[in-house]
Amino acid sequence: MTLQAFLLTASALFAVGLYGALSQQSIVMVMMGLELMVNAIVLAGAAFWYHVTPDAADGQVLVLVAITVMALEMAMGFAVVTASFRAGEVDMTEGAEDLKG
């Protein structure tokens, strides 16, 4: 595939994630939209890195680290959402502001 195809795919993924993050009220759906946007950035960065220096494996290592960090971030986010739901039956973004101390 060409760099343009990868960048087009990444921009489409980012647009879908942006729409999902801005249009949803469920905290889980907002987190999924943010995850799609970060995945699009990682895809664009990896594709660009591969097309600039195809012999070096630096970009692949960076992508693996970014995906690992994203998985940990999502696990922590779901733990926070689960805790807030148990604390006050809150799963929408409007109700989450009532949980402030």
Token pair 């039956």 is found at 89
- In the chain, how many domains are there? 1
Asked if the structure places residue 100 within a domain, the reply is no
Asked if 80 contacts 90 with a C-beta cutoff of 8 angstroms, the reply is no
Instruction: Quote the CA–CA distance of 48 and 70 in Å, as a whole number.
Output: 20
Exposed / middle / buried, residue 27 (Cβ in 10 Å: 0-12, 13-18, 19+): buried
Q: What is the dihedral of CA 87, 90, 96, 98, to 10 degrees?
A: -70
The boundaries of the domain holding residue 33 are 3-93
**What would the two tokens of residue 89 be?**
């039956």
Asked if the structure places residue 12 within a domain, the reply is yes
pTM assigned to the model:
0.77
**What would the two tokens of residue 93 be?**
């973004």
pLDDT in tens, the chain (101 residues): 889 999 999 999 999 999 998 998 887 888 889 889 999 999 998 888 888 888 887 778 888 888 898 888 888 888 887 877 777 666 666 665 655 55
